[in-house]
Amino acid sequence: MAARTLRIGLIPGDGIGREVIPAGRRILEALPASFKLKFSFVDLDAGFETFKQTGAALPDKTVDTLKNECDGALFGAVSSPSVKTEGYSSPIVALRKRLALYANVRPVRTVATAKSPVDLVIVRENTEDLYVKEEKTYDGPDGKVAEAIKRITEKASFNIAQMAGDIAVRRQRVRDSGAPSIHKQPLVTVTHKSNVLSQTDGLFRETARKALAQDAYKNVKVEEQIVDSMVYKLFRQPSDYDVIVAPNLYGDILSDGAAALVGSLGLVPSANVGKGFAIGEPCHGSAPDIEGKGIANPIATLRSTALMLEFMNEEAAAAAIYAAVDANLEEGKLLTPDMGGSAKTDEVVEDILKRL
């Protein structure tokens, strides 16, 4: 069988994004020939630095190239201005909308030998909720009043719940193949606050239930959790959860909080996923305090690269990357400062490359 050639857009963004995205390229280039994959790359611009240089945080050329030339992409990190900056808005939020990347998928897991193992995925709706950014401020009888629109649609809720169901089925398929796991049965936990927000979160809850009632998910157990209770239980009993699906804001909070379960945001990957396209994106920010010091943790990016490959139907290649990363963490000799070590970014990358 001939090798499959994939063209990957590389968008380092700001700060340490420019230090870790090259690690994603290197791991792809180092994949063994047995996977029959070849890669070409295109460097693309986005971010606050790009905005300061060009006046556009997300140039049209970047979007057009991703749409017309690329099979997937890696996105690094974005700096946010500390004061309101006219004309600037987050390029990753805009990119999600312009490429219809309606799901943000965030796996959170420890190595299998951890004292308290964690192995879950948070599936966050990516396009609506309070993130439609429709706000207004006006004068009321008792002073200023600020309002924000929370928008939940049936279509987006159905799509994200279906994505969660597909991930639960795929995770079970991997477990059935013999991969070590703390779970025995696929489970999706629908997270909401419909006891208070009966129309918006009520629509999300009802639609998610409808999506997960399809025959494709007949072997997936479905449960619900109110979001405040979800936060408590997630930290108390993380091993109880397999796949968690939530509207945009709740998913954002839960996924960042869940990173504490594994010790560092520098370990947590994500993918922005739509119909036939995925962008791998580490969950950490641009970290200006360590920019240029060569100590950024590359593991979130390497795992995000593997996650991108999963959504490109290259699960075996993704598994090889995950295994190499886990072997590095299991040994624990080369860890970056956020993990309590003193290793440099390049040292960690070299060690993981050798393990491939």
Q: Per-residue confidence of the chain (356 residues) as pLDDT tens digits? A: 788 999 999 999 999 999 999 999 999 999 999 999 999 999 999 999 999 999 999 999 999 999 999 999 999 999 988 788 888 988 988 898 899 999 999 999 887 777 888 999 999 999 899 988 899 999 999 999 999 999 999 999 999 999 999 999 988 887 887 767 788 899 999 999 999 999 999 999 999 999 999 999 999 999 999 999 999 999 999 999 999 999 999 999 998 888 888 878 889 999 999 988 999 999 888 999 999 999 999 999 999 999 999 999 998 899 899 999 999 999 989 999 998 999 999 999 999 999 99
- Does residue 267 lie within any of the structural domains? no
User: Are residue 96 and residue 118 in the same domain, yes or no?
Assistant: no
Q: Enter the tokens of residue 265.
A: 């945001």
pLDDT the model gives residue 85: 86
User: Are residue 172 and residue 304 in the same domain, yes or no?
Assistant: no
Q: Enter the tokens of residue 16.
A: 């340490």
pLDDT the model gives residue 174: 79
User: Are residue 76 and residue 49 in the same domain, yes or no?
Assistant: yes
Rounded CA Rg of the chain:
20
Q: How far apart are CA 282 and CA 185, in angstroms?
A: 28
pTM (whole model) above 0.85: yes
pLDDT the model gives residue 80: 82
Q: How far apart are CA 305 and CA 289, in angstroms?
A: 24
Q: How far apart are CA 28 and CA 40, in angstroms?
A: 10
Backbone φ and ψ for 250, nearest 5 degrees, come out as -60, -40
2: left (phi over 0), alpha (psi -120 to 50) or beta: beta
* In the block, residue with structure tokens 């943000």: 104
- Does residue 269 lie within any of the structural domains? no
User: Are residue 212 and residue 159 in the same domain, yes or no?
Assistant: yes
Q: How far apart are CA 326 and CA 355, in angstroms?
A: 10
Q: Choose among 255, 250, 200: nearest CA to 225.
A: 250
- Does residue 268 lie within any of the structural domains? no
What is the domain range of residue 312? 1-100+275-356
User: Are residue 147 and residue 227 in the same domain, yes or no?
Assistant: yes
pLDDT the model gives residue 73: 98
- Does residue 106 lie within any of the structural domains? no
Structural domain count of the chain: 2
Q: Choose among 88, 80, 98, 36: nearest CA to 279.
A: 98
User: Are residue 252 and residue 285 in the same domain, yes or no?
Assistant: no
- Does residue 82 lie within any of the structural domains? yes
pLDDT the model gives residue 275: 87
Report the greatest alpha carbon distance in the chain: 72
* In the block, residue with structure tokens 């890669």: 39
- Does residue 151 lie within any of the structural domains? yes
Specify the length of the chain in residues: 356
Q: How far apart are CA 238 and CA 230, in angstroms?
A: 10
Backbone φ and ψ for 99, nearest 5 degrees, come out as -105, 10
Q: How far apart are CA 283 and CA 348, in angstroms?
A: 18
Q: How far apart are CA 170 and CA 344, in angstroms?
A: 35
User: Are residue 240 and residue 350 in the same domain, yes or no?
Assistant: no
User: Are residue 69 and residue 140 in the same domain, yes or no?
Assistant: no
Domain boundary among 229, 261, 293: 261
Angle between helices 17-29 and 299-310 (to 10 degrees): 50
Q: Encode the chain in three state secondary structure.
A: CCCEEEEEEEEEECCCHHHHHHHHHHHHHCCCHHHCEEEEEEECCCCHHHHHHHCCCCCHHHHHHHHHHCCEEEEEECCCCCCCCCCCCCHHHHHHHHCCCCEEEEEEECCCCCCCCCEEEEEEECCCEHHHCCEEEEEECCEEEEEECCECCHHHHHHHHHHHHHHHHHHHHHHHCCCCCCCCCCEEEEEECCCCCCCHHHHHHHHHHHHHCCHHHCCCEEEEEEHHHHHHHHHHCHHHCCEEEECHHHHHHHHHHHHHHHCCHHHCCCEEEECCEEEECCCCCCCCCCCCCCCCCCHHHHHHHHHHHHCCCCHHHHHHHHHHHHHHHHHCCCCCHHHCCCCCHHHHHHHHHHHC
User: Are residue 46 and residue 155 in the same domain, yes or no?
Assistant: no
- Domain with residue 186: its CATH number is 3.40.718.10
Q: Choose among 118, 42, 100, 92: nearest CA to 273.
A: 100
131: left (phi over 0), alpha (psi -120 to 50) or beta: alpha
